[in-house]
């Protein structure tokens, strides 16, 4: 075991932070630590917060942290904001809503840039969740990138999904659409002190109540109202999250979700590698891009990569 | 296969001063220079800023201060940085700083002070060089 991992396991924050960096950059020491931590992980309840940009995801996370800390949990938070497709830089503003929560003991907050991953979550985010779980954080909140209608990747990565919506963003028709309006275990109407809140509540409720299908896992989604800036509805929301957690455990789904998360993590890493293979192939062929030669290069580079992975283990 | 490390910067407004346009412009410029910027916003205490830098494993702390309290507050930052083993983290300060205070700030442990009118490119170049020097991280191209 590396010295860094040892210190991280004792709860030393700077060591945890440095270890997470090594993990997110797939550094060999980080991967070794992740392997160790993954053997100890599997008990944290992972909650995903998703929704459109500006719905109040970060603000509600701040309020959820308070409530979890009050209940004596160790809380890990991973927040993702977009990377620039042009410069690869990122402007991450989620922490601004946390104010002094990060100075609380037992709360560890980490911002992540999406680094080209689409769909709301990234390989890095899932690796950090796995690590925080193994380090003993028993409630983990992951904030997706501001999501659109098809950003449903978060489904197989977390135990409990709360989709945040805000009043005034659409009528019943929007609520009935496929995609993000199907994945929630909870639909949270945030900013519920706005005049259109009741209409949003009713149309979301209709979208759920009118379904005759079997709900995912047999859990009928709950529509809740919150005013995150004032902490209204947060205690009740955490009560319901805990209820969902017990439900998943009683059905044996809690464990299954962790398996799904690990599969997803590997899938995202493989996909990222494919992107790199393609980039390299394009580089090799850049004089004249023709489909067949490009495919041949991809095949060759991919073969080299697989051989390399084989040698490493 | 490990990935190319990107520079991570925590940008914060230190103390009681509500003018954040400059800090936002800087944060945006660093994003455009290919860095991953964590913008922590207004009225941050030294404790909050250093804690954010610890948890984020930031390479750089960028402080914006226009209140005139820099000689009072920066020592708190440098003290907390030492206590938290952030000796290799680059510390840059920008804002309304009288020229005669620059050397005092540098003696406290600030790596560079940027005055109003500083060139954005010059700031990001300085940061890249300083990170390479202090953190042993190679300078990356923003492409």
Percent of chain B with pLDDT over 90: 80
Cα angle value A106/A21/B60 (rounded, 5°): 90
Is any Cβ of chain A less than 8 angstroms from the Cβ of B2?
A: yes
Q: Which residues of A touch B143 (CB under 8 A)?
A: 87
* pLDDT, tens digit (0-9, with 9 covering 90-100), for B11-26: 999 988 888 898 999 9
Do A149 and A292 reside in the same domain of the chain? no
* pLDDT, tens digit (0-9, with 9 covering 90-100), for A50-93: 988 888 999 999 999 999 999 999 999 999 988 898 999 999 98
Helix-helix angle A123-134:A13-24, to 10 degrees: 140
Is residue B74 within 8 Å of residue B103, measured between CB atoms? no
Is residue A140 within 8 Å of residue A46, measured between CB atoms? yes
How crowded is residue A136: how many other Cβ atoms within 10 Å of its Cβ? 17
Do A151 and A300 reside in the same domain of the chain? no
Q: With 0-12 CB in 10 A as exposed, 13-18 as middle and 19+ as buried, what is A84?
A: middle
* pLDDT, tens digit (0-9, with 9 covering 90-100), for A35-52: 999 999 999 999 999 988
Q: What is the mean pLDDT of residues A179-185?
A: 82
Inside any domain, residue B3:
no
Bridge partners of A222, per DSSP, are A186
Inside any domain, residue B12:
yes
The confidence score (pLDDT) of residue B1 equals 47
The confidence score (pLDDT) of residue A97 equals 83
Search chain A and give the residue with CA nearest B57: A17
Residue ranges making up the domain that contains A112: 41-251
The confidence score (pLDDT) of residue B143 equals 34
Cβ–Cβ below 8 Å for B3 and A308: no
Residue with tokens 């442990």: B109
Do A136 and A230 reside in the same domain of the chain? yes
Do A187 and A285 reside in the same domain of the chain? no
Q: Which of A108, A101, A105, A112 is nearest to A133 (CA)?
A: A108
Inside any domain, residue B1:
no
Do A53 and A107 reside in the same domain of the chain? yes
Residue ranges making up the domain that contains B59: 8-135
Give the count of domains, chain B: 1
Do A92 and A151 reside in the same domain of the chain? yes
Do A123 and A207 reside in the same domain of the chain? yes
Report A:5-44 residues touching B (Cβ under 8 A). Answer: 13-14, 16-18, 20-21, 25-28
Cβ–Cβ below 8 Å for B40 and A95: yes
Do A163 and A296 reside in the same domain of the chain? no
Positive/negative CA dihedral, A267, A273, A274, A276: positive
Mean pLDDT of chain A: 89
B81-116 CB burial, b ≥16 within 10 A, e <16: beebebeebbbbbbbebeeeebebbeebebbbbbee
Close Cβ partners of A179 (under 8 Å, ≥ 6 residues apart): A149, A150, A151, A152
- Flag the least confident range among A4-18, A128-142, A186-200, A284-298: A284-298
In this prediction, residue A262 has a pLDDT band, given cuts at 50, 70 and 90, of very high
Percent of chain A with pLDDT over 70: 96
Residue B30, domain CATH: 3.40.50.280
* pLDDT, tens digit (0-9, with 9 covering 90-100), for A92-151: 988 888 877 877 889 999 999 988 777 678 889 999 999 999 999 999 999 988 777 767
ipTM: 0.91
């Amino acid at each position: 075991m590396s010295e860094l991992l040892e210190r991280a396991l004792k709860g030393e924050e700077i060591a945890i932070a440095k270890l997470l960096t090594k993990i997110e950059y797939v550094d060999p020491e980080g991967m070794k630590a992740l392997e160790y931590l993954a053997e100890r992980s599997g008990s944290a309840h992972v909650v995903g917060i998703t929704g459109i940009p500006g719905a109040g995801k970060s603000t509600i996370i701040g309020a959820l942290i308070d409530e979890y800390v009050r209940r004596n949990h160790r809380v890990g938070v991973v927040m993702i904001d977009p990377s620039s497709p042009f410069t690869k830089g990122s402007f991450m503003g989620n922490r601004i809503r946390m104010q002094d929560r990060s100075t609380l003991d037992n709360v560890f907050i980490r911002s992540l840039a999406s680094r080209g991953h689409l769909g709301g979550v990234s390989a890095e985010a899932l690796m950090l969740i796995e690590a925080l779980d193994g380090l003993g954080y028993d409630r983990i909140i992951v904030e997706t990138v501001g999501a659109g209608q098809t950003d449903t990747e978060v489904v197989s990565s977390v135990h409990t999904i709360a989709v945040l919506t805000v009043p005034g963003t659409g009528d019943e028709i929007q609520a009935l659409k496929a995609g993000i309006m199907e994945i929630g275990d909870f639909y949270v109407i945030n900013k519920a002190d706005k005049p259109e809140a009741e209409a949003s509540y009713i149309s979301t409720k209709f979208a759920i109540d009118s379904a005759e299908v079997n709900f995912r896992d047999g859990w009928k989604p709950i529509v809740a109202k919150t005013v995150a800036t004032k902490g209204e509805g947060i205690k009740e929301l955490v009560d319901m999250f805990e209820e969902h957690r017990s439900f998943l455990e009683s059905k044996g789904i809690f464990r299954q979700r962790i398996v799904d998360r690990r599969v997803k993590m590997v899938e995202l890493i493989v996909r990222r590698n494919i992107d790199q293979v393609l980039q390299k192939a394009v580089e090799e062929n850049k004089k004249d891009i023709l489909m067949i030669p490009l495919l041949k290069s991809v095949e060759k580079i991919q073969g080299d990569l697989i051989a390399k992975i084989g040698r490493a283990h | 296969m490990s990935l190319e490390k990107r520079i991570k910067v925590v940008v914060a407004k230190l103390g009681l001063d509500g003018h954040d346009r400059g800090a936002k412009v800087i944060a945006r410029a660093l994003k455009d220079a290919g860095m991953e910027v964590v913008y922590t916003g207004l009225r941050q205490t030294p404790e909050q800023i250093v804690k954010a830098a610890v948890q984020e494993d930031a390479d750089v702390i960028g402080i914006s201060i226009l209140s005139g309290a820099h000689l009072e507050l920066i020592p708190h930052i440098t003290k907390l940085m030492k206590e938290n083993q952030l000796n290799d983290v680059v510390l840059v300060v920008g804002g309304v700083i009288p020229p005669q205070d620059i050397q005092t700030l540098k003696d406290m442990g600030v790596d560079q002070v940027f005055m109003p009118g500083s060139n954005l490119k010059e700031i990001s170049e300085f940061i890249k060089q300083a990170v390479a020097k202090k953190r042993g991280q190679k300078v990356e191209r923003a492409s």
